[in-house]
Structure 1
Amino acid sequence: MSSFLRTAVAVLAAVAPLASAQTLVVDNSTVISATDETVAPAAATVPETSTDASVPYFAAETVQLTDDVLANLTALDLSNISLFNFPESDATASKRGVASGCKTFPGDRLWPIPLVWTVFDLLLGGALEAVTPIAAPCYNDHPKVRNAAKCSFITNNWTNDSYMHADDPSSIMWPLYQGRTCMPTSDPSDSCTLGGFPSYVVKATNVAQIQLAVNFARNANIRLVVKNTGHDFNGKSAGAGALSIWTHNLKDIKYVPNYKQGSYKGPAVKAGSGVQAFELYDFANKNGITVVGGEGKTVGVTGGYLLGGGHSPLSSLYGMAADQVLSMEVVTPDGRFVTASDTANTDLFWALRGGGGSTFGVITSVTFKTYPKMQAAVATFSFSTGANVTEDTFWAGVRAYFDYFVSYTDKGAYEYFQIIQLGPGAYLFNMAPFFAPNMTTAQLQTLITPWLNTLSGLGIQVTPTYFGYNNFYDAWNNHFPLETVGSTNIKTASRLFPKSNWADQATLNATFAAIKSVVLEGSTVLAFNIAAAKNGGSNNAVNPAWRNTCLHAIQGVFWDAAADVPTIVAASKKMTFDWMQRWRDVSPGAGAYMSEADILEPDFQQAFYGSNYDRLYSLKQKFDPTGLFYAPTGVGSEDWTISGQVDGLPTQNGKLCRA
């Protein structure tokens, strides 16, 4: 017997002695005595066939928590096994939460004792880990991990290595909303606390582990968060006192040349929820196909990115990432593992495609349509104020670009550009890149020459560098930068500007003036000339504002790294209620992209979900009546509040309670 099983026996026997005469089903077929070798992990292997018969389960999805497994554990008369059961009702969680109306928090009377966490880990097969913040090696108060060399590596890569943060089970890309409680430091005597990091993480490698975590969090009334890569701008995978499910290691990918589901017949790809953009695009390229995924290299494509809609360098051609989905495998709030598609669990399928991450369940894999291999062309260039370019001339050049937004997206183009204030009266426009899928360099040159001629006429000399590729992957990989992350002295907000703002010169001038005004006052604007093409598959919960968009613009407000909380709050409110209000005023009824938006967005329900919100909220109550899944600005999040919040600087560092 393995040492792991000996430990399992010792712990479980301490909870309640095993009955030697009972039996247990293993691997869904073998029946053996209920000896000390049969109690953990709590899982059975089921057949590979899913509801979506076109694509079998991945191996990780065949390992499931079943009623038979739980019945066998219950038959062994193990104390606390009820904490892992599927619900007969929501009575258990409601009873635990009734005293305070809050999720059970470390230090509370009902917080599980260490032995329960040990039993949980054993049932998981050793996948549970107490969270240690990624920067803990920099601190003396974490002697077990204190390591000067590792601290130096973490510090040097904190803002420029999103791979590092994605590969850590609890780190998030934007620590402002975690609470900044354990940042890299050169003073090891500083204090490093969990703050808004979760207390425990399940490093999931199969469905059974996710089911156990969902059931345990629901039955014990513990806050539950889900992390894939941690990319969300508002720190949705953080949560003080939470149990986290880390899906990052679900990396399976399968190409399905002849997929059939509902009305769709054609090639498809099935990808695990841990697959990132760089992995998916590389896989697609090697199989001679093209897929719709994120712009960022380390974004988890089938996680919160897709669940929030997912904009892409291919969106102007093919629509949002959520529009490509054919079926999804998901663990729902009741712990059950189901397939959602246009023929199975159709309401859930609608909600998952655009209704937001960490809201309706935990995705384990997604099957989506593919497209033929394509060529792509790219142009990069910049211009700025200087000896021959006055401030007025600079802005005239940028304004001329806006004239072409609708025509560019109508051609399938996607531009990623920045407008930056370099100093008083000094500005930079950077096109990095102008991305033209399914075009040759000659076609791209023809497309942008009219604007370049206008720039030349203004006295702005621009000489673009052109690149041509015979596939999407190389064009994307060579020209989109690795994201800057980890900053604590910036807050961002965004707006989706509709094509109707381009219908007449007066409205377009007002739009441009609103965007220009925040740059003049010190903001940086990072934006995408993008549309969400109506390419079928759009009967989903994606924010309707996307369907009319030709500009997704993000603005940022900055403060000194050593700024105190009142200074940060003042800057935060300035952006939300002044700068952003100018953008809202010129785009009434539009919206914002939830994954790259302001956590303080007024009326987030309308801004992030539009006319879909009422249906989404109703489905939230249907599928998740206990409010197991919570995420800031997520559907139903208005029903909850986090204690100890600073007005203007919300974090996940506090107890989650009913509002």
Structure 2
Amino acid sequence: MIMGVFTPRALLLLVASSVAVTAGSSGRLASTVSNDSKGYFDYESIQLLPEDLKALNDSDAVLFDFDSASSESVNAARSSTLCKIFPGDRLWPSKSIWALLDRVTGGALVKGVPRATTCYDGPGYDADDCEYLTSQWTNSYFHADDPIEMLSPVYQGLTCQPTTDPSDSCTMGGYPHYVINATDVAQIQLGINFARNIGVRLVVKNTGHDFSGKSGGAGSLSVFTHNLKGMKYIENYEAPGTEWTGAAFKMGAGVQAFEIYKAAADRGLMVVGGEGQTVGVAGGYIIGGGHSPLSSIHGMAADQVLSMEVVTPDGKFLTASFVENQELFWALRGGGGSTFGVVTSVTVKAFPTIPATTSTFSFKTGGDITYDNFWKGVRAYFDYFLEHSDAGVYSYFFILPSNGQFTFLMQPFVAPNKTLEETNALLSPWFTQLKNLGINFTPNTTYFDNFYDAWLGSFPLEVVEKTHVATGSRLLPRANWEDESLLNQTFDAIKASSDAGLTLIAFNMAPTLERGGNPDNAVNPAWRKAVMHALSSVNWAANATVAEIKAARQEFTYTHMQRWRDVSPGAGSYLGESDRMEPNFQQSFYGSAYPRLLALKRKLDPRNVFYAATAVGSEDWKVVTENGLPSEAGILCRVG
């Protein structure tokens, strides 16, 4: 394979990669910048400045130099771009070059090693550790500190999963080759500059919750932001360009939901974050939009952002806000992660906490509950979606098929700012209909005097590392509920997927523009019209052949999910919980915002430093895998 764009700069790199690192090039490259005016975290004050590169000789400095090329000059050379350089290529950096990257980042470079290596024959084999990690493998907390593990392992390629057969093979697949375990901004800048100048693929990982495998990439250098854990409470946030005058939190990119929720609760506050405990709130969650148990009263998580710090593809460290780098600020609030830069911190609105009532219950076919009555009961629930979401409700429910039987599980129904009596009044009409259908159950309905306790006590810990599964989603609009015939068609499409054996996970909520404060941001416009975010998933046998997997995925995307698209033309899908094979992903995930996002992408990142599956601009690239299945287990090459 040949590295990216052959410019004079690249020719210099060819020379640089063939020489030994000089003694004078050892040591950390960074400066400490005053944070008085910007309110940086300490780790954000440690930055790479152009003068820091003077500590290196010329051939080494060019590896880490900032990008000054114009988009016009780079675009003129696009025809020379083939693939990112890959291990085994003659231009793959030598050990001495990787050692240099390690030194200038202060020892932050980590070699990618699959966590399950201890289950396989070889120097890393450890039977006790293998037994332990196998018992913890689906627990998202277990993987939080791992720099390469992907929580959607299908897109890693399933090349090194826990096993009871040590003689099996364990390979890197879609795992990154090296990782910068970032603890300051300078390390991120060095990693971005290095990847751009050398032509190595760059990926970004916070927690790895993305359903499409965006945090992986074979032969890549990864920037791991999980350890950027700063958190700062601002009692009265004031900034030009915004009318927000309330409390705010500034949080590092690595802060997770359980951390920011607790910090807010300790001050009698709450922030808009996800339902999952370990999701990185300030990473891809906010950048991709971010739905929340509070979305029906406060909108999307991206709607709450007041300011962001970010390292851009040219290696510069910027603030994006209502008055600085406004176009980038617009894009980073909903336009998708791993494509415009690496966010190091986000400042978000905080609200006084509110009480909430939650209800959990289930019913299933069998006994007195017939198939027909089960579905009549589910259909009756659909009639309340507008009323409930307009009342601020966020419901999280499942329809689980198994051997011809069906289970409906509400886990949970969340009524923010509602008493027990008010919540029962919302649920009572539907519950009466269920009882009349012979569907009897005992709901666990509980009042909490604050949002944090309601969230912590009601939502299950998310299960990760699901193998042999593909997921897709659809944002079904309010218009489908305002027309009885269209509502029936929508329900029939949902039911058809369940009848085909597919799992349904769904949410009833309405994060309208008004509830988000009428923000001008890049959140998929389909969210503003949605009252149901529905996910479907298909499974295949663990021993399925490549041909069988391809057939299952093809049918899922183009038959089962097409039914949902047919009843909601022009709607969309949620970027963070998506089908990697989604047709016309630009419209589905970004809607009318896509042309503006793409124009900004090409302006900010003319050298294509950042790529992620279904991210803005990703249509120009493809991951070439040996088996042809969608995953990160292959080299990244330009399309055409």
Q: 1:380 aligns with which of 356, 360, 385?
A: 360
SS of structure 1 residue aligned to 2:309: strand
How is 1:150-549 mapped onto 2 (pairs within 5 angstroms)?
A: 150-159=129-138, 161-261=139-239, 262-263=241-242, 264-424=244-404, 426-533=405-512, 534=514, 535-536=516-517, 538-549=519-530
Name the counterpart of 1:559: 540
With over 3 angstroms needed to count, the CA separation of the structure-2 counterparts of 1:216 and 1:537, relative to structure 1, is farther
Q: 2:413 and 2:433 mapped to 1: Cα distance?
A: 17
Q: Give distance in 2, aligned partners of 1:43 and 1:57.
A: 16
Residue aligning to 2:55? 73
1:449-476 superposed Cα distances (whole Å, 9 cap, x missing partner): 1111111122212321111111111111
Match runs of 1:599-610 below 5 Å: 599-610=580-591
Distance 2:133 2:75 in 1: 42
Per-residue Cα deviation, 1:383-407 (whole angstroms, up to 9, x for no partner): 1112211111110000000000011
* Kept after mapping to 1: 8 A contact 2:402/2:501: no
Deviation of 1:423 after TM superposition, in Å, equals 2.0
What amino acid maps onto 2:21 in structure 1? Answer: V
Q: 1:58 to 1:266 in 2, by over 3 A?
A: same
CA distance in 2, matches of 1:64, 1:231: 28
Q: What is the match of residue 44 of structure 2?
A: 61
Return the letter of the residue paired with 2:47: Q
Match of 1:41 among 19, 28, 38: 28
Q: CA deviation at 1:422?
A: 2.5
Structure 2 stretches of 5 or more lacking a match?
A: 1-18
**Do the aligned residues in 2 keep the contact of 1:93 with 1:221 (CA within 8 Å)?**
no
In structure 2, do the counterparts of structure 1 residues 205 and 284 end up closer, same or farther at CA, with 3 Å as the change threshold? same
User: Which amino acid in 1 is paired with 2:593?
Assistant: N
- Equivalents in 2 of 1:94, 1:617: separation in Å? 14
Q: Compared with structure 1, are the counterparts of its residues 537 and 115 closer, same or farther at alpha carbon in structure 2 (3 Å cutoff)?
A: farther
Q: Distance in 1 between matches of 2:410 and 2:23?
A: 68
2:250 maps to a residue whose letter is K
Give 1:646 deviation, angstroms. Answer: 4.4
1:419-470 Cα deviation digits (max 9, x unpaired): 111322x211111100111111111111111111111122212321111111
1:96, 1:220 within 8 Å by CA — same for their partners in 2? no
Distance (whole Å) between structure 1 residues aligned to residue 189 and residue 609 of structure 2:
13
The 2-side partners of 1:556 and 1:266 are apart by 41
Structure 1 distance, partners of 2:429, 2:407, is: 21
Q: Which amino acid aligns with 1:552?
A: H
Deviation, structure 1 residue 521 = 1.0
Cα pair distance change 1:191/1:98, threshold 3 Å: farther
Q: How high is the TM-score relative to the length of structure 1?
A: 0.91
In the alignment, the residues of structure 2 paired with residue 59 and residue 93 of structure 1 have an alpha-carbon distance, to the nearest angstrom, of: 35
Alpha-carbon shift at residue 204 of structure 1 (Å): 0.3
Alpha-carbon distance in structure 2 between the residues aligned to 1:99 and 1:462: 65
Quote the Cα distance in structure 1 between the aligned partners of 2:574 and 2:228.
26
Q: What's the RMSD between the two structures over aligned residues?
A: 1.8
| Distance of aligned partners of 1:582 and 1:393 in 2 relative to their CA distance in 1, 3 Å threshold | same
Please state how far the C-alpha of 1:537 moved relative to its aligned partner: 5.1
Aligned to 1:7: none
Find the residue that maps to 1:184 and give its secondary structure.
coil
Give aligned pairs, total.
Answer: 616
Unpaired runs of 5+ in structure 1?
1-12, 19-35
Return the alpha-carbon distance in structure 1 between the equivalents of residues 475 and 115 of structure 2: 34
Alignment partners' CA distance in 2, 1:97 and 1:636: 14
**Is the 2:298–2:511 Cα contact (8 Å) retained in structure 1?**
yes
Deviates more, 1:387-396 or 1:558-567: 558-567
Residue by residue over 1:58-93, the C-alpha shift from the partner in whole angstroms, topping out at 9 and shown as x without a partner, is 0000000012212x324xx25322110101227999
Distance 2:80 2:363 in 1: 61
Alignment of 1:40-119 (within 5 A): 40-50=27-37, 53=38, 56-70=39-53, 72-74=54-56, 77=57, 79-89=59-69, 101-119=82-100
CA distance in structure 2 between the partners assigned to 1:57 and 1:568 by the alignment: 48
- Contact kept, 8 Å, 2:309 with 2:346, in 1: the verdict is yes
Q: How far did residue 287 of structure 1 move?
A: 1.3
Tell me if structure 1 keeps the 8 A contact 2:503–2:536.
yes
| Mapped partners of 1:63, 1:572: distance in 2 | 46
Q: Secondary structure at the match of 1:182?
A: coil
Q: Return closer, same or farther for 1:537/1:340 CA change in 2, 3 Å cut-off.
A: farther
Contact 1:83/1:215 (<8 A) preserved: yes
Retained in 2: the 8 A contact 1:165–1:230? no
Q: Cα distance, 1:49 vs. partner? A: 3.0
1:15 Cα deviation (Å)? Answer: 2.5
For 1:96 and 1:213, the matched residues in 2 are separated by: 23
1:656 and 2:636 correspond: yes
SS in 2 for 1:657: strand
CA contact (8 A) 1:97 1:103 kept: no
Moved more, 149-158 or 607-616: 149-158
How far, CA to CA, are the matches of 2:111 and 2:325 in structure 1? 35
For 1:259, what is the secondary structure of its paired residue?
A: coil
| Residue 628 (str. 1) matches residue 609 (str. 2) | yes
Q: 1:246 to 1:83 in 2, by over 3 A?
A: same
One-letter identity of the residue aligned with 1:415: S
- Equivalent-residue separation in structure 2 for 1:369 and 1:84 (angstroms): 36
Q: Distance in 2 between matches of 1:634 and 1:472?
A: 33
Q: State the distance in 2 between where 1:98 and 1:569 align.
A: 32
* Kept in 1: contact 2:252–2:346 (CA 8 A): yes
- Cα distance in 2, alignment partners of residues 156 and 95 from structure 1: 53
Aligned to 1:16: 22
Does the CA contact (< 8 Å) of 2:625 and 2:631 recur in 1?
Answer: no
One-letter identity of the residue aligned with 2:484 = Q
CA distance in 1, matches of 2:487, 2:616: 33
Show the counterpart of 2:127. Answer: 148
Q: Is the 8 A contact 1:452 1:462 kept in 2?
A: no
* Range with greater deviation from structure 2 (95-104 or 378-387): 95-104
Counterpart of 2:237 in 1: which secondary structure? strand
Query: Does structure 1 conserve the Cα–Cα contact (< 8 Å) formed by 2:471 and 2:578?
Result: yes
After alignment, is 296-305 or 380-389 more displaced? 380-389
Give the structure-2-normalised TM-score.
0.94
Q: Distance in 2 between matches of 1:155 and 1:580?
A: 33
Q: CA deviation at 1:558?
A: 1.1
SS state of the match for residue 598, structure 2? helix
The alpha-carbon deviation at position 94 of structure 1 amounts to 9.0
| Match of residue 7 from structure 2 | none
Distance 1:418 1:628, change over 3 A: same
Q: Identity percentage over the alignment?
A: 54
Give, in whole Å, the separation in 1 of the partners of 2:315 and 2:487.
50
* Counterpart among 593, 599, 618 of residue 637 in structure 1: 618
